[in-house]
């Protein structure tokens, strides 16, 4: 098996009995030295206790450990929920012998059930005892909920002669929509960076990756992306210019993780990239791409392998942006299916249907109204999505 | 069988071979005398040829007949599509011996296929020959696509001693979302009214009915609501005050038709009213209600009869409006499930689960931030929705 590590970081995971299936559900990431930290959190008005705690703590710019559980979101749990998030961080801190303020917390799972903190307390010593450099893949498994596969990506870069590593893990397969996808993501790097520069790099990457994917248009209360940089590689970025060298590697990691999330979308059988160009602005293009990518009618047609371009055009038409349907072209991969708003006939449709039978393809829409462009990754909408989500809590 | 009529109006339907199943697919409504007319059309940027034709013609304020087909939307069909819409109206006009400008056209069905106008031409004489007062229910059947049941409502009112009738038919069960639902609706009344007053009455009613329902969040290219008033009852409304007496009956007809559409939602097994109060404004309340009503995660939980209130609160949280989740209450019918953002425990959940097993129930959300309120009708999201829409064109 692939050995996923990042110099100066260790990780571990244990079963605390939060998930019904007795699988590992509590994880810990630890940096040998306090790291610079940046975070991006859900924009949902409803924010889980760990999100609220982290948003406060991350202001210091420093972090040395993240403790994370699946099986319970610790959301809509009132004052007790906030207390439990603090206790969870505190337990990790004392066992690691570091300051409580250097520990961040994340949770994912069912909303509105009290977090059984005593089960977490009982296994913290085990968790800390099993920390090891190659424990990151264990952690990636422990944070899974409806995910079918664990997700991690590790890439290397070089800055001024110093090689550095960026290693990320993520979970998420439903409640996935821009701002953010419902997901947790933890990224470790041994580059050094001041927190403000790290924050800028993370925001740019998230906007290019997790904010460009959708599974079902729902956003969550627990979305969290945390980037820790411990500086142990000797590579230290300090300026905007320096950031670019790091950005390149960070973008790569986040985009690959984002793609893995859509590929693992609940019930998904196909991965589809929606590319819009020719909009009046990039923002308009993004609205059109998102509306198509979230349309149930478009996504069920993809599942049915039906080149129903009328639904694509109709979804574009309700995106709330200005364009002329009568000059719009639609391609399925390279097959021109609609020319100036009119279908290209049966032979084009037969070719397009062949494209739709592939597990991955592109839908390209040219609005020919301007130079705005955007791209969004989505998946099809299958019977299994409904099955998974009708039965989620039972 | 119920005899649906409206004084001075006749209707008919025949099979023109536009639908694959050989059922009736072409209908005609005719008023003995030219009627005042008002219309509301889709706000989608992509508009079918008949919509574009009607929007132009309806400016005259007069109409005597509407010809409508199912099986083909005549949308994204280019110049030929516009020509075909005109020809379709022209054929009806000559056979009825009235001016072409007094004929409106509507179409529903697959987007992007040329309308086989010769099949329509062949059956126009039959269509006109079979016009009869009780033909309205035949027409209601002929406009069905994925609808499981035909939809009509007839109500009577009295204005200044004159009894009058309002009779409406509608189709629609998927691609249903506010502004407008994907639907056709034709309303006949024997009240008399100037077109501007009729337009005002229709706009008010549509906003209270068809703009408050959702099945899948998709809007269509062909949505059309036409109201014809032929004045034959002797009741004539002329002022804003007069309008109210008519409005009452018209609202009743449209709201009942809207309810029938959601009840017949593609794959729907439950009818759910989402009521939001305590928002900062009615508009905010509506955004929250619509976001909940369109959330796939909420709707699949309804299908699974799972009182997953966390998804409801999370959907409210991404509606883009300001409220305090920690003072939010959620009821399922009269069962208080969430008090100040926190779940009310297992016994409340057991009671709520009993509510969810009913075919119809209410979800009431009190944001306690202001006096804004809104109500939206939606349905659950079942396996059959996916089946129906994956296979629609095959």
A357 touches chain B (CB under 8 A): no
- The token pair that represents B284 in the structure block: 């905010």
Note whether B184 and B213 are same-domain residues: yes
Residue B262 confidence (pLDDT): 83
Q: Are B78 and B85 in contact (CB under 8 A)?
A: no
Is B2 part of a structural domain of the chain? no
Mean pLDDT of chain B: 89
Q: Percent of chain B scored above 70 by pLDDT? A: 94
Residue A22 confidence (pLDDT): 87
Is B1 part of a structural domain of the chain? no
Is A309 part of a structural domain of the chain? yes
**Strand order of the sheet with strand A342-343?**
A342-343, A335-339, A329-332, A360-366, A271-279, A372-379
At which residue do the structure tokens 């001024």 appear?
A: A160
> Which residue range forms the structural domain that includes residue A295?
271-390
Q: How far apart are CA B303 and CA B380, in angstroms?
A: 5
Among B210, B238, B263, residue at a domain's last position = B263
Strands B162-171 and B151-159: antiparallel
Q: A356: buried, middle or exposed (CB in 10 Å: 19+, 13-18, 0-12)?
A: buried
pLDDT digits (tens, 9 = 90+) for B178-221: 443 357 889 999 999 999 999 999 998 888 888 777 665 566 67
Q: Are A190 and A6 in contact (CB under 8 A)?
A: yes
Note whether A255 and A350 are same-domain residues: no
Note whether A152 and A290 are same-domain residues: no
Q: Is there a contact between B304 and A219 if contact means CB atoms under 8 Å apart? A: no
Note whether A238 and A301 are same-domain residues: no
Q: Is there a contact between A303 and B341 if contact means CB atoms under 8 Å apart? A: no
Is A40 part of a structural domain of the chain? yes
Closest-CA residue to A24 (of A115, A111, A103, A140): A140
As a dihedral over the C-alpha atoms of residue A261, residue A262, residue A263, residue A265, rounded to 10 degrees, the angle is: 90
Mean pLDDT of chain A: 89
> What value does the mean pLDDT take over residues A20-28?
92
Indicate the angle between helix axes B49-57 and B78-96, nearest 10 degrees: 50
Q: B15: buried, middle or exposed (CB in 10 Å: 19+, 13-18, 0-12)?
A: middle
Range A284-294 burial, b when 16+ CB lie within 10 A, else e: bbbbbbbbbbb
Residue A195 confidence (pLDDT): 92
Q: Is there a contact between B76 and A325 if contact means CB atoms under 8 Å apart? A: yes
At which residue do the structure tokens 């791209």 appear?
A: A375
Q: Is there a contact between A318 and B219 if contact means CB atoms under 8 Å apart? A: yes
Note whether A99 and A27 are same-domain residues: yes
Q: How far apart are CA A155 and CA A249, in angstroms?
A: 7
- The token pair that represents A139 in the structure block: 């952690």
Is B76 part of a structural domain of the chain? yes
Q: From the list A76, A300, A308, which residue is nearest B310 (CB)?
A: A76
Quick check: ipTM above 0.95? no
Note whether B107 and B238 are same-domain residues: yes
- The token pair that represents A300 in the structure block: 């069920």
Is B3 part of a structural domain of the chain? no
Q: Is there a contact between B390 and A78 if contact means CB atoms under 8 Å apart? A: no
A174 touches chain B (CB under 8 A): yes
Residue A245's CATH number: 3.60.70.12
**pLDDT at position A180 over 50:** no
Q: From the list A45, A113, A304, which residue is nearest B317 (CB)?
A: A45
Please give the interface size between A and B, counted as residue pairs whose CB atoms are below 8 Å apart: 208
Among A261, A291, A309, residue at a domain's last position = A261
Is A3 part of a structural domain of the chain? no
Closest-CA residue to B361 (of B377, B373, B345): B377
> What value does the mean pLDDT take over residues B89-111?
95
Note whether B246 and B278 are same-domain residues: no
**pLDDT at position B235 over 50:** yes
> What value does the mean pLDDT take over residues A150-163?
93
pLDDT grade, residue B261 (50/70/90)?
A: confident
> What value does the mean pLDDT take over residues A197-219?
80
Residue B329's CATH number: 3.10.20.340
B384 touches chain A (CB under 8 A): no
At which residue do the structure tokens 């990636």 appear?
A: A140
Q: How far apart are CA A198 and CA A176, in angstroms?
A: 25
Span of A52-61, A216-225, B240-249, B290-299 with lowest mean pLDDT: A216-225
**pLDDT at position A109 over 90:** no
CA angle in degrees (0–180, nearest 5) for B18-B21-B22: 60
Among B263, B288, B314, residue at a domain's last position = B263
* A135 or B384, higher pLDDT: A135
Note whether A225 and A293 are same-domain residues: no
Kindly name the residue from A10, A77, A145, A182 that is annotated as catalytic: A182
pLDDT digits (tens, 9 = 90+) for B169-179: 999 876 554 44
Note whether B237 and B275 are same-domain residues: no
H or E stretch at B35: strand B26-41
Q: How far is CA B257 from the centre of its chain?
A: 7
Residue A214 confidence (pLDDT): 67
B297 touches chain A (CB under 8 A): yes
Q: Is there a contact between A308 and B381 if contact means CB atoms under 8 Å apart? A: no
What chain B residue is nearest to A353 in terms of C-alpha separation?
A: B394
H or E stretch at A251: helix A240-263
* A313 or A388, higher pLDDT: A313
Residue A97 confidence (pLDDT): 97
pLDDT digits (tens, 9 = 90+) for A321-367: 999 988 999 999 999 999 999 989 889 989 999 999 999 999 999 99
Residue A392 confidence (pLDDT): 59
B165 is an active site residue: no
Residue A175 confidence (pLDDT): 58
| The model's pTM | 0.78
**pLDDT at position A222 over 90:** no
Is B230 part of a structural domain of the chain? yes
Note whether B184 and B53 are same-domain residues: yes
CA angle in degrees (0–180, nearest 5) for B107-B108-B111: 105
**Contacting residues of A for B287, CB less than 8 Å apart:** none
Note whether B67 and B106 are same-domain residues: yes
> What value does the mean pLDDT take over residues B67-94?
94
Give the number of domains in chain B: 2
Q: How far apart are CA B257 and CA B143, in angstroms?
A: 14
Q: From the list A75, A303, A386, which residue is nearest B310 (CB)?
A: A75
Q: How far apart are CA B196 and CA A369, in angstroms?
A: 35
pLDDT grade, residue A373 (50/70/90)?
A: very high
B371 touches chain A (CB under 8 A): no
Q: Are B37 and B29 in contact (CB under 8 A)?
A: no
Residue A181 confidence (pLDDT): 40
Strand, helix or coil for residue B40: strand
Note whether B275 and B252 are same-domain residues: no
């Amino acid at each position: 098996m692939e050995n996923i590590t990042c110099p100066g970081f260790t990780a571990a995971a244990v079963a605390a009995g939060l998930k019904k299936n007795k699988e590992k559900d509590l994880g810990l990431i630890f940096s040998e030295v306090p790291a610079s930290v940046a975070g991006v959190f859900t924009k949902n008005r409803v924010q889980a206790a760990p999100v609220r705690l982290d948003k406060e703590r991350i202001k210091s710019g420093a972090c040395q450990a993240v403790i994370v559980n699946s099986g319970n979101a610790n959301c809509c749990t009132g004052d007790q929920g906030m207390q439990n998030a603090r206790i969870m961080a505190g337990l990790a801190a004392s066992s690691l012998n570091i300051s409580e303020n250097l520990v961040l917390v994340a949770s994912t799972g069912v909303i509105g059930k009290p977090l059984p903190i005593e089960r977490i307390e009982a296994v913290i010593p085990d968790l800390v005892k099993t920390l090891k450099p190659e424990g990151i893949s264990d952690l990636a498994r422990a944070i899974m909920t409806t995910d079918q596969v664990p997700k991690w990506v590790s890439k290397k870069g070089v800055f001024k002669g110093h090689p550095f590593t960026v290693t990320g893990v993520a979970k998420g397969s439903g409640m996935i929509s821009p701002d953010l996808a419902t997901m947790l993501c933890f990224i470790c790097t041994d580059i050094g960076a001041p927190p403000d520069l790290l924050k800028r790099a993370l925001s740019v990457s998230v906007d290019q990756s997790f904010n460009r994917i959708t599974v079902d248009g729902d956003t969550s209360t627990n979305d969290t992306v945390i980037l820790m940089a411990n500086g142990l590689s000797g590579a230290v970025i300090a300026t905007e210019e320096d950031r670019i060298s790091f950005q390149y590697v960070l973008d790569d990691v986040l985009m690959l993780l984002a793609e893995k999330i859509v590929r693992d979308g609940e019930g998904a059988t196909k991965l589809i990239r929606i590319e819009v160009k020719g909009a009046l602005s990039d923002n308009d293009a993004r609205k059109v791409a998102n509306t198509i990518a979230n349309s149930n009618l478009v996504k069920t047609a993809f599942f049915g392998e039906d080149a129903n371009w009328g639904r694509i055009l109709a979804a574009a038409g309700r995106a709330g942006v200005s364009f002329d349907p009568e000059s719009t072209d639609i391609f399925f991969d390279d097959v021109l299916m609609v020319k100036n708003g009119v279908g290209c006939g049966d032979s084009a449709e037969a070719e397009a249907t062949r494209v739709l039978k592939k597990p991955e393809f592109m839908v390209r829409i040219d609005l020919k109204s301007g130079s705005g462009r955007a791209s969004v990754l989505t998946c099809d909408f299958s019977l299994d999505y409904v099955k998974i989500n009708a039965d989620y809590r039972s």
